Amino acid sequence: DKDIYILGIETSCDETAASVIKNGHEIISNIVASQIQSQQRFGGVVPEIASRHHVEQITLVIEGALLAANLEPADLDAVAVTEGPGLVGALLIGINAAKAFAFANGLPIIGVHHIAGHIYANQLMQPMEFPLLALIVSGGHTELVLMEGHGSFKLIGETRDDAAGEAYDKVARVLGLPYPGGPAIDKLALESDDAVEFPRAWLERESYDFSFSGLKSAVINYKHNLEQKGGTIVPSHVAAGFQQSVVEVLTAKTLKAAKEYNVKQVIAAGGVAANKGLRASLEMTFEKEGIHFYVPPISLCTDNAAMIAAAGTAMFMDGKRGNMEMNGRPGMPL
C-alpha cells in the first residue's frame, strides 16, 4: 500500500505549529514556534497578540515542516488543521493558511478537534487499544473521554469550573511564579520537604466531573490568613500541597472510570500531562492494576501539530473531508 503523508497545522492558542506525519504514527517533521516570551511579558495569552504572532510565524513554520521532511506539497495526501476549540482569531490564521495551501496544491483539507489531537498524540508512540480511556488535562480542558474505536469520543466527565492547567497558572500567580505556572509549581512541589493540606474536590460519588476553583480559593485564603497573622507562606509547601490535591483527584477518578468501563488502555494527554507528579502517580496506579497506561513525551503533551496530523490521518482513512467553507469553531464539541 501507498504511504500516507499528512501535513498538520495547529494555531488554536499560543503555539504556531506544523508537522508532517507518515501513516498516522511516524513523525517526519515537527515544528513548534512558541510565543512564550511574549506571554511572559503579559502574564498570559492575550488573544489579539497571539493572532499577530501566528500571522508572523505561520508561513515560516509550514515551510519549515516541509523542508525538514524533505517533501514537496505534491508528496502530501491532505492538510489537517485544528478547527476548534480555541481562540477564534488564532484558529482562523491556521485554517486560512491550510485552505490556501490545500487550494494551491489541490489537496483535501480536514478539520481536527484540538482534543482529538491531544489524544492522538499517543498514537505517535504506540497503537491505540479500545476501549480506551483518555484523561485530557490542559490549560483549557479537564476531561475524561471514553473511546470505543477510532473517531468515537464519549465525554464521561469534565471540569465544572477551571481547567487543571488554568488552576496551575492561577495558583502560580498567587505564589509569584512566572507564566506558565505548571512547570514552575511542578518543580517546586517535587523539591519540597513538606506539603500544606488542601481540600480535595470529589463532588458527587458517582460523578466523573472535576472542580478546581475551590482549591484555588483555598490556596488564596491560606496565603491571606497567614499574612494577616504576620506570617509568610513557604511557596514550595503550598505548591506541593496544591499538586497533591490535583494529582490525587485526577488519579482516583481516572482509575474509577477505567475499572467501570473495563478499558484496555488508559492514556493521558494535554499540557498538564507533562506534570511529573501526575505522570508518576498514574504510572504507579495503573501498573498496580495491570492496566496499560501511556503518556506521550512532554514535547507531544503540550500543543503541537504532529498530534493534529495524527488525528487527521485517522479521519482521512475514515473518508472524512472538510471544505473551503471551514470556519474557526471556538466551542466545537468533541
Q: Specify the stretch interacting with Zn ion by CB under 5 A; choose among 63-71, 133-141, 258-266, 322-330.
A: 133-141
- In whole angstroms, how close is the CB of 251 to ligand KG4 at the nearest point? 14
148 CB-near residues (< 8 Å, 6+ apart): 130, 131, 154
Nearest CA to 83 out of 48, 110, 45, 111 is that of 111
Which CB atom, from 13 or from 107, has the smaller least distance to Zn ion?
A: 13
Q: What is the largest CA-CA distance in the chain?
A: 72
| In the complex, least distance from residue 34 CB atom to ligand KG4, rounded to whole angstroms | 10
Question: Does the annotation list 169 as a binding residue?
Answer: yes
- Name the minimum Å distance from CB 140 to Zn ion: 7
Q: Which is nearer to ligand KG4, 102 or 181 (CB)?
A: 181
Pick from ligand KG4, Zn ion, none: which does 111 bind, CB < 5 to 8 A by kind? none
Size of the site for Zn ion (CB under 5 A): 2
Residues in contact with ligand KG4 by CB under 6 A are 13, 138-140, 165, 168-169, 180-183, 186, 270-272, 274-275, 302-303
Hey, which residues between 273 and 312 contact Zn ion (CB under 5 A)?
A: 303
293 binds, among ligand KG4, Zn ion, none (CB under 5 to 8 A by kind): none
Q: How far apart are CA 299 and CA 169, in angstroms?
A: 19
Contact status: 138 vs Zn ion (CB under 5 A): yes
In whole angstroms, the minimum distance from the beta carbon of 181 to ligand KG4 comes to 5
CB-count exposure of residue 56 (10 Å: 0-12, 13-18, 19+) = middle
User: Which of residues 147 and 301 has its CB atom nearest to ligand KG4 in the complex?
Assistant: 301
Tell me whether residue 67 or residue 220 sits nearer to ligand KG4 (CB atom): 220
Could you tell me if residue 270 is left (phi over 0), alpha (psi between -120 and 50 degrees) or otherwise beta? left
139 is in an annotated binding site: yes
Query: 6: annotated binding-site residue?
Result: no
Alpha carbon separation from 290 to 42, 165, 241, 281, 283 (Å, rounded): 45, 28, 28, 14, 10
- Check: CB of residue 41 under 8 Å from CB of residue 111: no
Residue 114 annotated in ligand binding: yes
Q: Which is closer to ligand KG4, CB of 111 or CB of 182?
A: 182
The annotation status of 53 as a binding-site residue, yes or no, is no
- Whether 19 contacts 305, CB under 8 Å: yes
Residues in the annotated binding site for Fe cation: 114, 118, 303
User: Which residues sit in the known binding site for substrate?
Assistant: 136-140, 169, 182, 186, 275
Q: Which residues bind Zn ion (CB under 5 A)?
A: 138, 303
Binding residues: 114, 118, 136-140, 169, 182, 186, 275, 303
